[in-house]
Amino acid sequence: MKRISLTGFVAAMLFALTLTVYAQETSVALIPQDRNKEDWWKNRFVEKVEQMKKGDIDLLLIGDSITHGWEGHKQIWDKFYADRKTLNFGFSGDRTEHVLWRLDNAPMDAIHPKAITIMIGTNNIGHGSSQPKDAADGVLAIVQKLQKLYPDAKIFVLYVFPRDEKPDGRLRAKVNEINAYLPKLLANLNNVVLVDIGYLFLQEDGTLPKSIMPDSLHPNDDGYVVWGNAVEPFLKPIFEK
C-alpha cells in the first residue's frame, strides 16, 4: 500500500478546494456549455461546422435567435448579406456560455472574417441563468476569444436589443443594465466597436411597438430592415476596400 505524504495530501486538498471555490465564484455565463442534447441545436452546429470548413467567409454574425432569425427573412438577408460571404452563427436560445462553447469547438481557424457582429445576452437574463453583470462579462469573454482568433478583424458588438413592450418592463430594465456595463468592459479593446441601434426600434415614449417586434423580443421584416440599414454604415467601408 502506497503512503501519501502529509505535504502531498495537503496540496491535493488545497487544489480541490481551489477548484470548488472557482466553480462557485465563476458565473455560468463564462463557463462554455453545449446544448448537444437538443437534436436541432447539434444538427445546426454540424451544419455550420461544414460551412466553416469550406472557408471563404468574410462576415461572421454571432448571436442567439434574433441573429438566427435572419434566415427566416431571405429577401432582406439577400439585400444586405448574400454578396458578402456571410456565415450566420446565430443559434436560437443561446446564452453567452453556449457561444463560448461553439467558439471552442468549431473550426474557427478555417475562416478569416474581415468583420464580425455580436449580439448576445438577452437569454442570460430572460432564462434567469445570469445576472446582467454576468451576461456582460460573458460578452466580454466572447470578444476576447474572437480577438485572439482574428486580431485583424473588426468586431462590432451590438447593444442587446430592447425587449418588453413598456420601458419600465422587468426584462427591459435588465437589458438596459447589461448594456450599461458594456462601454467600460469593452473600452480600449483593439478593433472593437460598440454599436447602439436598439433605440431605433422604439417609439418616442420608449414603447417597443408590435409593428417592429410582435412578441416584444424578435424583429419582424420591418425590424430586420431597420437592423440591416443601421449597421450598413459600419460594414460598407470594410467591404468596399
Q: What is the DSSP string of 228-239?
A: HHHHHHHHHHHH
**To which residue does cell 456549455 refer?**
33
Residues 193 and 235 sit within 8 Å (Cβ to Cβ): no
Length of the chain, in residues: 241
d(CA 123, CA 149): 25
Q: Are 83 and 122 in contact (CB under 8 A)?
A: no
Amino acid at 95: R
Q: Which long-range contacts (CB under 8 A, 24 or more apart) does 79-86 make?
A: 79/228, 80/228, 80/232, 81/228, 84/58, 84/59, 84/235, 84/239, 85/56, 85/57, 85/58, 85/59, 86/57, 86/58, 86/59, 86/60, 86/61
Say what the pLDDT of residue 6 is: 53
Closest by CA position to 142, among listed 62, 240, 46: 62
CB atoms within 10 A of CB 160: 28
Q: C-alpha angle 136/142/227, rounded to 5°? A: 75
Residues serving a catalytic function are 65, 215, 218
CB 176 within 8 A of CB 183: no
- Answer yes or no: are the C-beta atoms of 119 and 94 closer than 8 Å: no
pLDDT at residue number 36: 98
pLDDT at 8: 53
Query: Rounded to an integer, what distance in angstroms lies between the CA atom of residue 101 and that of residue 78?
Result: 29
What the chain holds in terms of domains, given with CATH numbers, is 27-239 (3.40.50.1110)
pLDDT in tens, the chain (241 residues): 444 455 554 454 544 444 444 444 789 999 999 999 999 999 999 999 999 999 999 999 999 999 999 999 999 999 999 999 999 999 999 999 999 999 999 999 999 999 999 999 999 999 988 999 999 999 999 999 999 999 999 999 999 999 999 999 999 999 999 999 999 999 999 999 999 999 999 999 999 999 999 999 999 999 999 999 999 999 999 998 6
| pTM of this prediction exceeds 0.75 | yes
